Amino acid sequence: MTNFQERGHLLTEQVNPNSINLDQLNSLELVELFNSEDQKAVAAVAAAKIQLAAAIDCTAERLHQGGRLFYVGAGTSGRLGVLDAAECPPTFCTSPELVQGIIAGGAGALVRSSEDLEDRSEDGESAIAQRQITQLDVVVGITAGGTTPFVHGAINAARQRGAKTIFIACVPAEQVTIEADIDIRLLTGPEVLAGSTRLKAGTVTKLVLNTLSTGVMVKLGKVYGNRMVDVAVTNQKLRDRALRILQDLTGLSREAAGLLLENSGKWVKLALLIHWTKLDQEAGKKLLAAHHGNLRLAANSYNQNS
C-alpha cells in the first residue's frame, strides 16, 4: 500500500469554499449550510448505484451459500459498520455471526477515541485471520479518506483467503487505489469542518450500509412486500409491529393475530404461512425451509400444488 503521510490532496481533507466563514455564522445559517451540504450525500449514493447494486448481489449470493458479511473500519467508519451489523439480528432475526463489524481497537473504540490504532495494517490482517475468513465470506472495507492501513490490511488479507472484497471510500479512485472486487466511491466533497469525516462522509456511509444490508436481506427472503416478516419479537415495540403486520396481511383482529403469533413460536413469517395455507407448524417450517425461508415462494408453491 502507498504510504499516505501527506494527505492534503485528498478530497476529504480539502477546504470547503462554502464554509470559509463557518465561525461567523449564526445558528440558523449554520443549520442551512449543513442541510445544503448534506444533500450531496444523497447525490453521491445515486452516482454509485451500479457498484452498490453489484455489492448487494455479490453479498446475497455468498450469504445464500453459507458465507458471512464483515464490515471493517476505524473511527467513525468502524462504528458505523458495527452499528449496521448490530441492527441486523433484531430487524431480520439473523444470527450475530452472519453480519459482523470489525473496528480497529475492538469494543473499546466504540465509545472512546482510539484513532492511533488504525495505522497498523497488521492488525487488520490479524482480525481477518482471527475470524477465519473463507472464500464464502464478504469483507467490506470502510475508510472515508481511503487510506486507513487497518482497512487496507484487512482487505488484502481477505483477498488472499479468497473472500469477496468491497471497498467504500469518499475519495476518487485516482487519489487512492486498491485491489478489491467492488470499489464504491462516494464523493461528497470537502467537509463543512475541514477534514471532519464524521459529517458528510459519515452520513453517506450510513446511507450506503443501510441500503447494502437491507438489500441483501430482501434478496435472502427476509422481507415480504415491504414488511420485516423475520422481525425478532423481543420487546413490546417489536411485538406490536409483528401484530400489526399480521393484522394488515391477514385481516385478523388483534386478539386473533396474537394467538396466531404465539402458535407459530413468535415467527411472523411462519404465522402468515400457517394462516394462508392452514398447514401445521412443522409442515409450515418444512415448506419455508424448502424455499430457503422465502415466504412468497413458499406460499406460491403451496397454492400451485394444492
Q: Which residues are catalytic?
A: 87, 118
How far is it, in rounded angstroms, from Cα 208 to Cα 42? 10
**Closest to 146 measured CA to CA, from 10, 296, 284, 32:** 10
Helix, strand, coil proportions of the chain in percent (round to 5)?
55, 10, 35
**Closest to 206 measured CA to CA, from 232, 192, 188:** 188
Packed helices 268-277 and 254-263: angle between N→C axes, nearest 10 degrees: 100
How far is it, in rounded angstroms, from Cα 262 to Cα 243? 10
How far is it, in rounded angstroms, from Cα 107 to Cα 82? 9
- Quote the cell numbers at residue 208: 450506503
- Quote the cell numbers at residue 242: 409483528
Q: Which residues neighbour 3 within 8 Å (Cβ) at sequence distance 6 or greater? A: none
Instruction: Count CB-CB contacts under 10 A for residue 68.
Output: 21
Residue 71, classed as helix, strand or coil, is: strand
**Closest to 133 measured CA to CA, from 222, 72, 58, 200:** 72
- Quote the cell numbers at residue 57: 448481489
How far is it, in rounded angstroms, from Cα 132 to Cα 284? 35
